[in-house]
Every structure is written in C-alpha cells, then in structure tokens.
Amino acid sequence: MSAVLFDVPGPKARTRNVYLNTVTVIVVVGIIGFILFRFYESGQFTAQKWEIFTFPRVQEMFLTVIGTTLKAFAVAAVGSLVLGIILAFGRLAEAKWLSLPCYWFTELFRAVPLLILMMIMYYGLPSVGVKGITPFIAVVVGLILYNGSVLAEVFRAGIASLPKGQREAGLAIGLSNGQVLRTILLPQAVRAMLPVIIAQLVVIMKDTALGSLITYNEILYYATFLGSQGQYGSPVVPGLMVAAVIYVGLCLILSGVARYTEFKMSSRVKVVKAKAGIAG
C-alpha cells in the first residue's frame, strides 16, 4: 500500500519506527484514558446511570429499535440501488430527453441536505394536506432519493471507468446498446465500484439516525428518550455510548458482510480455477 512512498526500511528506519510506534501508543492510550477517566470522575459510570440497561424491557426495546433501524436501512438500501441503476441507465441513454432529466434529478437531490429532504417530506407535505406520511416513509423516501442519486453517479462513473474496449467488443459481436449495458458494463461496474457501493450502504445505515430528528423511533431516538429517565439518573451520555456502540457494530457487520460478498465474488476465480484443474 505505502510501497508508493517508502523504501523497505533498513535498520535505522526500523529503530525510528519502533520509537514512533511507542509515542503513538502512549498518545492514543493517553487520550482514551483521559476521556474515560473524566467520564468516570463526572459520574457517567455510576451504577445508577447504567442500571436502566439491565431491565429486560429496555433490552427488548433496544432490539425493537435495532429492528426499526434495520427496516429503514433495508428498504432504503434496496430502493437506492434500484433507483441508482435506473438513473444511471437514464443518464447513459443517447436520447437527450431521457438523459437530461436524469442528470438534473441526480444533481438536485445530491445538493439538498438529507435532513431538509426528510423535513420536507415529514413536515412540509402534511402541511399542505398530503396524508399518510409516517416518519418511516419520510426517512426511507428521503434516503432513497438522496442515496439513489449518489449511487447513480457511482454506477455511471464505474461504467465510465471501464476500458472503452469492453463496450466496443460487445458492440462488435453484435450486441445492442442495451445488451452491452446490461450484460457487459453494469456487472463489471458493480464489481469495480463495490467498495464505493459498500461505503454508500454504510452511509445509509448511519443516516437512518437522522430519523431520530423527525421522530422516527429508531436507536438514537430511543437512546435519547432514555435520557429523560430521571429516576435512573437521566443517563444521557450512557445512552449515547450504547447507541454509538450499536451503530458502529451494525456498520462494521455491514462492511463485513459486504467484504464477504466481495471475497465470494473474487473467489469465483478460484472455484473456476479448481474446475479448470479437473477438466484440464
């Protein structure tokens, strides 16, 4: 990775690295230690503030709100991928009447803050008489419009980054433009862009937390609610800590699953190799 920059370290460089390593470890441990110590000093780790997390009802509720977060994530993720592919195809179309609106659509929805988009859905539309906009709908539609536009750009860039020859080779054997796009370009673009797509999925997961600001009852909303529990010492900071751990955990699991898929895809090469070994 950093082979771009560095020579293989010699003995002196190795000594210097040991020194740098030590300093880094001391600084990092120092910072984390200080934060934990101060939280401890200011009573954030008292039994009273953490007692609430021991109640089965609270634990169940955490499972429930993880569920609502995942529900919003799953629907938004699928919706964004679908919208992204449709918009990307639209933008790549030769017909201007199709590609231009798709272009403006993606530009527009990437320019509006997601929170404002959710507010327009949730507060704005009902104020002019649109009925049935639940927080779930506002969160999911907002996420889809925004991330679909972002993913459209990702797919388009992925297709554009493929060697020109791939498209030409497809055309040269008589495939139509649409066939080339579907069977040759898109599968390769998805593969090439998989890390970016995964990063965007993690963004969707994180952005479900914006739902808490428009009263969607997800993890952060519930964690904040627990802060109102005065009889348990108003555990605001502990609530945030628990929420942070859950979010980081969910995002890491998501990245892990995605990496596994990526590995599976690339290990197709190995499977193929093995098969070829038997055949040849």
Partner 1 sequence: GGGDTAGGGSDGGGGDAAGLSFEVAKDVALTGSPTFDKIKSAGKIRIGVKEDQPGLGFLDAATGERSGFDIEIARWMAASLGVAADKIDFKAIPSANREAALANGDVDLYVGTYSINDKRKKLVDFAGPYFITGQGLLVAKDNTTITSEKDLDGKKVCSATGSTPFQNIKDNFPKADAISFDIYTKCVEALTSGTVDAVTTDQAILLGYASQNPDKLKVVGEPFTVENYGVGLPLGDTALRTFLNTTLTDGNATWTKIFDATLGKSGTKVEQPKVDQY
Partner 2 sequence: MTNPAHAPALVELKAVNKHYGALHVLQEINLEVAKGEVLVVIGPSGSGKSTLCRTINRLETIDTGSITIDGKELPKEGKQLANLRADVGMVFQSFNLFAHKTILENVTLGPIKVKGMSKPDADKLALSLLERVGVGHQAAKLPAQLSGGQQQRVAIARALAMKPKVMLFDEPTSALDPEMINEVLDVMVELAKEGMTMVVVTHEMGFARKAADRVIFMADGQIVEEATPEEFFTNPQTPRAKDFLSKILTNG
Partner 3 sequence: MNVLLDNSQLFIDGFKNTGILFIFSAFFSLILGTIVAGMRVSPAPAMRAAGTFYVNSVRNTPLTLILAFFALGYPKLGLPEISFMNAAIVGLSLYTATYVSEAIRSGINTVSVGQSEAARAIGLPFMQTLTLIVLPQAFRSVVPPLFSVFIALLKNTTVAAGFSVLEAGSIRATLSDLGEPLLPGLLWVALIFVLLVLGILSPLQRYLEKKWKVAR
Contact 236, 227 (CB under 8 A): yes
230 sits near partner 1 (criterion: CB under 8 A): yes
Give the residue with the Cβ less far from partner 2, 185 or 209.
185
Q: Rule CB under 8 A: which residues touch partner 2?
A: 7-13, 163, 165-166, 168-176, 179, 183-184, 187-188, 191, 268-269, 272-273, 275-276, 279-280
| Interface map 199-218 toward partner 3 (x if CB under 8 A) | ---x---xxxxx-xx-----
Instruction: Tell me how far apart the alpha carbons of residues 109 and 199 are, in angstroms, rounded to a whole number.
Output: 19
Q: Where are the alpha helices (DSSP H) in the chain?
A: 11-41, 47-51, 56-92, 96-111, 114-119, 125-127, 135-161, 164-172, 177-179, 186-207, 219-226, 236-279
Give burial (CB, 10 Å; 0-12/13-18/19+) of 19. Answer: exposed
Q: Does 60 engage in binding with partner 1 (CB under 8 A)? A: yes
DSSP assignment string, 156-169: HHHHHHS-HHHHHH
Q: Give CA torsion, residues 101, 103, 108, 111, to 10 deg.
A: 180
Q: Which residue stretch of 23-31, 123-131, 168-176, 195-203 sits at the interface with partner 1 (rule: CB under 8 A)?
A: 123-131
User: For partner 3, which residue of 81, 85, 102, 114 counts as binding (CB under 8 A)?
Assistant: 114
Q: Given the complex with partner 3, which of 70 and 202 has the nearer CB atom? A: 202
Q: Which of 6, 127, 128, 163 binds partner 1 (CB under 8 A)?
A: 127
DSSP 8-state secondary structure symbol assigned to residue 9: P
Residue 103 burial class via C-beta count within 10 angstroms: exposed 0-12, middle 13-18, buried 19 and up: middle
Residue 121 or residue 197: which is nearer to partner 1 going by CB?
A: 121
Task: Pick out residues in 60-99 that bind partner 3 (CB under 8 A).
Answer: none
Minimum gap (Å) between residue 40 Cβ and partner 1:
15
- For residues 135 and 170, which CB has a smaller minimum distance to partner 2 in the complex? 170
CB closer to partner 3 out of 175 and 194: 194
